[in-house]
């Protein structure tokens, strides 16, 4: 084992290293923990030079304005441009009330896996409402969105099957694919982002290689880029090849479509996509995920999906909170209208200032910045009380760094203008615009 000082030798000149250097670093050692000591030295360097932004501590609810304890020791009253709770349902009085009532009625946890003693009345009610909301026959729910994608893929695909991904799919889908590939030898491939010609090529290759079924899977709204999948073309092509389609609606549910039912509603394709996946962590301001589809497929996944059978059911408190959020969003379109007003305003103003926002179509706004200035830009914005996350490798590919802005319906025009003023000043200072 190396002593702690020796670990610094892996990063002799910290200032020349990027996130990719430390993420891809292989440290030859027989001691499993040696790499953690080397990372720790790198992290300490980043903190001491104001280049570290992971796990800043939010004091109180994650709201459009929050008190944040930053790594430089200061507590700041910041404008939040980095959360995913699009409608601030996490802090809505009626959602909180529903959660408190659920604690009184059901207690805190569900006590068991759903197939055994963990299915409570409130879970069944949520599944029923979600199936209806997504125009599907049935739905099943999970304690996390990550677990949802993992379970769908590992429950449905076997050795002769193929799964074809958009290259920019969320990490939970990619990890699910790696798992099923390792376990069953399932064929896994990727098509160029939102590129239907590339998808056709990949479906053709899979048809020749595999004797089983095919699944095409994509985000509805892409989590790092904010653009929308061309679902009608994808579904038409999949039909030609006898493939099924799954769409991950994490960032589309509640947001896209005239009544917020997601990408399928946006394209007038409700009930026409084989599998619809979603999360409760964003629009609904809670945590968890769901799969909606045909009754037989859901019944099968409950038994063959590893993350359903072998994991405790989501908390009844979370389920009750999601039900209330869903109710509010269905009853009142004001939430969605405000979010889109904020979205169109910021798109227009950022483009006017000369920022590259990569053709986003939604409240997820990737502001392109140079890789080597990403942390300095983020710190400058932090000092101006703007909370925004820099996104670097491995969350996006190397040299595609960005500030990932995600908007809330509750942000006021003054807060947006204050953010724009800060972004303009910092953009000019660092030569981005
Ligand atoms: C597209 C997409 N799918 C799935 C997930 C995972 O959801 P969760 O964070 O609720 O586990 C995320 C979360 O960031 C996501 O953006």
pLDDT at 40: 87
Average pLDDT score over residue span 206-216: 97
Residue 140 CA to ligand 1 center (angstroms) comes to 16
Residue 282 CA to ligand 1 center (angstroms) comes to 8
pLDDT at 96: 98
Q: How far apart are CA 382 and CA 183, in angstroms?
A: 44
* Banded pLDDT at 20 (limits 50, 70, 90): confident
Q: Kindly give the number of the ligand 1 atom that is closest to the alpha carbon of 144.
A: 11
Pocket test for ligand 1, best of 143, 166, 170, 253 (most atoms within 8 A of CB): 170
Contact criterion met (CB below 8 Å) for 232 and 106? no
The closest alpha carbon to 253, from 174, 348, 148, belongs to 148
Q: How far apart are CA 133 and CA 126, in angstroms?
A: 10
Residue 278 CA to ligand 1 center (angstroms) comes to 8
How far is the CA of 4 from the CAs of 10, 11, 42, in angstroms?
Answer: 11, 13, 12
Residue 337 has pLDDT above 80, yes or no: yes
Question: Does residue 250's CB lie within 6 angstroms of at least one atom of ligand 1?
Answer: yes
Token pair belonging to 307? 């993350």
Residue ID of nearest Cα to ligand 1 atom 16: 223
Give 43-80 pLDDT, tens digit per residue.
998 999 999 999 999 999 999 999 999 999 999 999 99
Q: How far apart are CA 199 and CA 164, in angstroms?
A: 8
294: region left, alpha or beta (phi > 0 left; psi from -120 to 50 alpha)? beta
Q: Kindly give the number of the ligand 1 atom that is closest to the alpha carbon of 281.
A: 10
Q: How far apart are CA 433 and CA 423, in angstroms?
A: 10
Question: Does residue 263's CB lie within 6 angstroms of at least one atom of ligand 1?
Answer: no
Residue 432 has pLDDT above 90, yes or no: yes
Q: Kindly give the number of the ligand 1 atom that is closest to the alpha carbon of 147.
A: 11
Residue ID of nearest Cα to ligand 1 atom 9: 145
Residue 318 CA to ligand 1 center (angstroms) comes to 16
Question: Does residue 169's CB lie within 6 angstroms of at least one atom of ligand 1?
Answer: no
Percent of the chain residues topping a pLDDT of 90: 88
pLDDT at 10: 57
Question: Does residue 144's CB lie within 6 angstroms of at least one atom of ligand 1?
Answer: yes
pLDDT at 397: 85
Q: How far is CA 171 from the centre of its chain?
A: 8
- Distant-in-sequence, close-in-space partners of 12: CB < 8 Å, separation ≥ 6: none
Question: Does residue 166's CB lie within 6 angstroms of at least one atom of ligand 1?
Answer: no
Question: Does residue 248's CB lie within 6 angstroms of at least one atom of ligand 1?
Answer: yes
Question: Does residue 162's CB lie within 6 angstroms of at least one atom of ligand 1?
Answer: no
Average pLDDT score over residue span 99-113: 98
Question: Does residue 145's CB lie within 6 angstroms of at least one atom of ligand 1?
Answer: yes
Average pLDDT score over residue span 134-145: 98
Average pLDDT score over residue span 92-110: 98
Domains of the chain: 4-48 (no CATH), 57-80+333-429 (3.90.1150.10), 92-331 (3.40.640.10)
pLDDT at 35: 86
Contact criterion met (CB below 8 Å) for 406 and 84? yes
Give 220-260 pLDDT, tens digit per residue.
999 999 999 999 999 999 999 999 999 999 999 999 999 99
Question: Does residue 289's CB lie within 6 angstroms of at least one atom of ligand 1?
Answer: yes
* Banded pLDDT at 11 (limits 50, 70, 90): low
Average pLDDT score over residue span 143-156: 98
Contact criterion met (CB below 8 Å) for 290 and 277? yes
Q: Which residues are catalytic?
A: 223, 251, 282
Residue 101 has pLDDT above 90, yes or no: yes
* Banded pLDDT at 191 (limits 50, 70, 90): very high
Residue 301 has pLDDT above 90, yes or no: yes
Contact criterion met (CB below 8 Å) for 140 and 291? yes
Give 396-427 pLDDT, tens digit per residue.
888 899 999 999 999 999 999 999 999 999 99
Q: Kindly give the number of the ligand 1 atom that is closest to the alpha carbon of 282.
A: 10
Residue 146 CA to ligand 1 center (angstroms) comes to 6
pLDDT at 24: 75
Pocket test for ligand 1, best of 146, 150, 151, 364 (most atoms within 8 A of CB): 146
The closest alpha carbon to 78, from 382, 413, 403, belongs to 382
Residue 1 has pLDDT above 70, yes or no: no
Residue 7 has pLDDT above 60, yes or no: no
Pocket test for ligand 1, best of 227, 281, 315, 364 (most atoms within 8 A of CB): 281
Average pLDDT score over residue span 30-51: 89
Phi first, then psi: give them for residue 332, nearest 5 degrees. -130, 110
* Banded pLDDT at 29 (limits 50, 70, 90): confident
* Banded pLDDT at 21 (limits 50, 70, 90): confident
pLDDT at 34: 86
Average pLDDT score over residue span 329-358: 98
């Amino acid at each position: 084992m190396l002593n702690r000082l020796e670990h610094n030798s892996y990063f002799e000149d910290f200032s020349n290293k990027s996130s990719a250097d430390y993420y891809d670093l292989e440290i030859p050692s027989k001691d499993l923990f040696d790499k953690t000591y080397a990372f720790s030295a790198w992290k300490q360097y980043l903190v001491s030079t104001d280049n570290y932004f992971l796990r800043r501590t939010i004091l109180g609810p994650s709201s459009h304005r929050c008190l944040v304890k930053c790594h430089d020791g200061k507590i700041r009253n910041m404008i939040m441009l980095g959360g995913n709770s699009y409608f601030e349902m996490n802090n809505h009085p009626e959602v909180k009330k529903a959660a408190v009532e659920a604690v009184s009625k059901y207690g805190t946890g569900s006590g068991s896996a759903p197939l055994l003693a963990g299915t409570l009345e409130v879970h069944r009610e949520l599944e029923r409402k979600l199936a209806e909301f997504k125009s599907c026959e049935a739905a099943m729910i999970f304690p996390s969105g990550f677990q949802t994608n993992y379970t769908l893929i590992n429950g449905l695909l076997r050795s002769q099957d193929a799964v074809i991904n958009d290259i920019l799919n969320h990490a939970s889908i990619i990890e699910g694919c790696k798992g099923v590939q390792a376990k069953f030898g399932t064929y896994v491939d990727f098509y160029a982002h939102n590129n239907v010609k590339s998808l056709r090529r990949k479906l053709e290759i899979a048809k020749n290689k595999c004797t089983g079924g095919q699944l095409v899977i994509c985000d509805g709204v892409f989590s790092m880029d904010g653009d929308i999948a061309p679902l009608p073309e994808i579904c038409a092509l999949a039909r030609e090849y006898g493939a099924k389609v799954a769409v991950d609606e994490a960032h589309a549910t509640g947001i896209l479509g005239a009544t917020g039912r997601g990408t399928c509603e946006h394209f007038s394709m409700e009930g026409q996509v084989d599998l619809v996946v979603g999360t409760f962590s964003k629009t609904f301001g809670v945590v968890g995920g769901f799969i909606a589809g045909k009754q037989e497929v859901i019944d099968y996944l409950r038994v063959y999906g590893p993350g359903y059978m072998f994991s405790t059911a989501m908390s009844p408190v979370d389920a009750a909170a999601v039900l209330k959020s869903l109710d509010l969003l269905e009853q009142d379109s004001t939430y969605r209208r405000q979010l889109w007003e904020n979205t169109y305003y910021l798109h227009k103003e950022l483009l006017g200032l000369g920022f590259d926002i990569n053709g986003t179509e939604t409240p997820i706004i990737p502001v392109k910045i140079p890789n080597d200035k990403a942390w300095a830009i983020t710190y400058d914005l932090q000092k101006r009380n703007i909370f925004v996350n820099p996104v670097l490798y491995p969350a996006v590919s190397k040299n595609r760094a960005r500030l990932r802005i995600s908007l809330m319906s509750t942000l006021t025009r003054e807060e947006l203008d204050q953010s724009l003023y800060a972004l303009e000043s910092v953009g000019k200072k660092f030569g981005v615009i």
